[in-house]
Structure 1
Amino acid sequence: MGADRSRADSLRWTAEGTKTFFGALDALPDDRLDRLIALDGWTGRHLLAHVAANADALVNLAHWARTGEETPMYASPEQRDADIEAGAVRPAAELRTWAVRAAETLDARLSELDDRQWARQVRTAQGRGVPAEEIPWMRAREVMIHAVDLGAGVGFDDLPADFRVALIGDIAAKRSGDGPALTLTATDHDRTWAVSGAGDPIPVTGTLGGLAAYLSGRPAHGVTGPGGPAPELPRWL
């Protein structure tokens, strides 16, 4: 696991994030799901279908961990995209029900794993081999970040502080080597992070919430570089 998180942390954040995501979703009437959100031309329907399909995909990894039978998250990237597009046109009530049931099924499957199964290697959609105890962290990121993406009043500052610390560390590591070199300093936490990349490191400062938003490629208020805005980053997740 990462230096800033344990399996217990990730399971707790998955539970908290699921509550946050569906609380935000419940605040949105069906017609709001038809609106575009700031994610590659997706509507709220696409986002909800993605979160539901992600839970189904992680159930596959939980099955792999429990049985040893190789079960990829998705049949292919093309199938993943097709499932999201198909899900986005389902009736809103059906789409909401799918998302809830998929989340409940994932929670049930994860609760069945023992220590040996948590240690079993599975593979992410990007092809990385990871121990199964990474599954709840993968889910926590999805429900926490996409709760913000719903646009229902949840911001990165509303997410748990320890989750934001772990998220910044995770994204900083994954962004290293791709893009500008950065040194990130939190103004509300005694912590810095480094992103390796091209050129001399550019100092970037902001709150934990601002840095998490910035690194994930979302609008980030109060995040600054030397003498002006921080370098723009593409969306992550």
Structure 2
Amino acid sequence: MSFDRSLKIAPSILSADFANFGQEIEAIEAQGCDWVHVDVMDGHFVPNLTFGPPLCKAIRKHIDTVMDVHLMIAPVDPYIDAFAEAGADILTAHLESGPHIHRTLQAIRGAGCKAGLALNPGTGVEDIDYLLDMVDLICVMTVNPGFGGQKFIHSQIDKVKKLRAMIGDRPIHIEIDGGVTPQTAPLVVDAGADVLVAGSAVFKGGSVDNPAPYGDNMRAIRAAVAG
């Protein structure tokens, strides 16, 4: 994975047809997505239960782009190797997911993955100064983690601006997760984000038998950002 700040759209398969993950992933890639985002939830750190390493391993062979795995779980450390072995390119852990996030980020990189750090809506940027050289991606949650289809939290735009200033010329992506639409995408990209996770905004109106709307939806987001 070479680094660049060009806009990337990462559809969340949480909004895909669970019975057809392989075909859904192939469809969104054919329609122009940049990354594939996998939301891992444990029913403990967040109020929902989704996917584990076996699912990631099963879908890996269908992914030609980047497998972006978001670990909304606590504890994280015991599962890092399993998700890395399942084929994750990026593993993102939450700042609050354990007592030693520095160690967690070290372990993610040690497992051969890019290291991501996720910040909840109520989390400030003050605690990440000493982590910036440990991360390849910072994921700003613009909804409270746990469910798709929630309303975008506008206060996070200022957080993105602060992060962009802190990052400077470091090769760190700023990813936005939650409530991304053609209306909100320009706001966060203007603030400094370069990776947009979108679930319902990409998958709405389409299916594996009719994937064209996926492409239309992603082009609408790109066009809004290009503005």
TM-score by length of structure 1 reads 0.28
TM-score by length of structure 2 reads 0.29
* Higher-Rg member (1/2): 1
Higher helix share: 1
Higher strand share: 2
